[in-house]
Amino acid sequence: MSLDWIYYAISWILLRWHALWDAIGIPTDKFLGTNWSWVLAIVFLVVTVRVILFPVFVKQIKSQRAMQALQPKVKALQEKHKGDRETLQKEMMELYKTEKANPLMGCLPMFLQIPVFLGLFHTLRRLNPSNTQTTLYGWTTEQFRDATHASLFNAPLASKFGSTADELAALQANSTTVKVIAGVLVLIMMASTYATSRQMILKTGWAEDPQQKMIQRLMLYGIPLSLLISGSLFPIGVIIYWVTNNLFTLAQQQWVLRKFPPPQMAGKNGSAPKSTGPPVKSAGSNAPKSPVQPGTRTGGLFGRNKAQAEPETPVVDTKKLAPRPGAKPVNPKKGTRPASKPKG
């Protein structure tokens, strides 16, 4: 299957943004060793793609919420079919089908961006002065020549950390400069990739489903580590795209998590949350409560709420405390006359 349609689409977006920055007045000459019109064209290629994929991103968040809501049922299945992995996987697939949840939806935006990444990789790799096919995918010869010599801090956008001496000579680039710029960008790419995965896991928690948890670990640790090697093969322009995409993802996820916060995890390790409401009244709770004495702590960080605790003394029967005939009252109130003795 030909991928030319991807190369045409990526080239069209890239060239439209570059033309816009030229029209606005962004200098075409190098400033600080950088052709900003081409760098900004790559940055806004990311913006264009992410705006197009925003509905998919919303579906990803909804799927993650649905998967999180299913964690108690998933844990129940794990306990029910402990030791029977085949039955467990079958039951979990039935659960996902019934609840219309897709554990792979969390990776869908990343998968959809792979064609864009490949298209940009192919387009930038063509930027070589010795390349005679300068008008492929809608480029003019002038645009091709201009992009070929575009650079970031004197490191050509088409160069990479692993560029050979012949490739660097064709691009008129310094090997040390290219390795320093590309190396720093690869480290930023790794750190930002890790941060995007960690941000979502910290907000939603680790999945109970082993398959989901494996995917989370792969995205958190596996992908950033793999970039340490594969990043040396990426042109600097592609690394700019990747870093910009990660920063956009961090901002987008932060906005979504603030506006639509995930439901509270059901306690630690999926256990039911502790009740914070008033205590449930038991039988006989209609008995009169002992009054709270002045100075008694009724709550706080370390105090015990004696208003809700069991009375320390039995309920007093007021009839038994009534004065017997002929007895003087205890602690008579001021201004009251003592009871008179009954006449013999």
pLDDT, tens only, 253-262: 888 778 767 6
Decide if 318 is inside a domain. Answer: no
- What pLDDT shows up at residue 211? 73
DSSP 333: P
The answer to the question of residue 331 being in a domain is no
Within a domain: 169: yes
Domain that holds residue 226: 4-62+102-266
pLDDT in tens, 141-184: 999 999 998 999 999 999 999 999 999 999 999 999 999 999 99
Q: How many domains does the chain have?
A: 1
Here the tokens at position 175 are: 């090997």
Residue whose C-alpha is closest to residue 230's, from 193, 263, 186: 186
Q: What is the pLDDT of residue 94?
A: 85
Which DSSP state fits 152? E
113 domain-assigned = yes
Q: How confident is the model at residue 275, as a pLDDT?
A: 43
Residue 107 lies in a domain: yes
In whole angstroms, how far apart are CA 126 and each of 11, 139, 166?
A: 12, 11, 15
What the block records as the tokens of 161 is 């950390």
- Residue 47's pLDDT is 94
Sequence letter at residue 290: S
Report d(CA 197, CA 219) in Å as an integer.
Answer: 6
Residues of the chain with pLDDT under 70: 1, 28, 106-107, 204, 207-209, 260, 262-344
Domain assignment present for 112: yes
Q: Say if 142 falls within a structural domain.
A: yes
Whether 321 is covered by a domain: the verdict is no
b/e map of 76-98 (b: 16 or more CB within 10 Å)?
A: ebbeebeeeeeebeebbeebbee
Contact 146, 104 (CB under 8 A): no
Spatial separation of the C-alpha atoms in residues 150 and 272, rounded to whole Å: 58
Fill in the amino acid letter for 249.
Answer: T
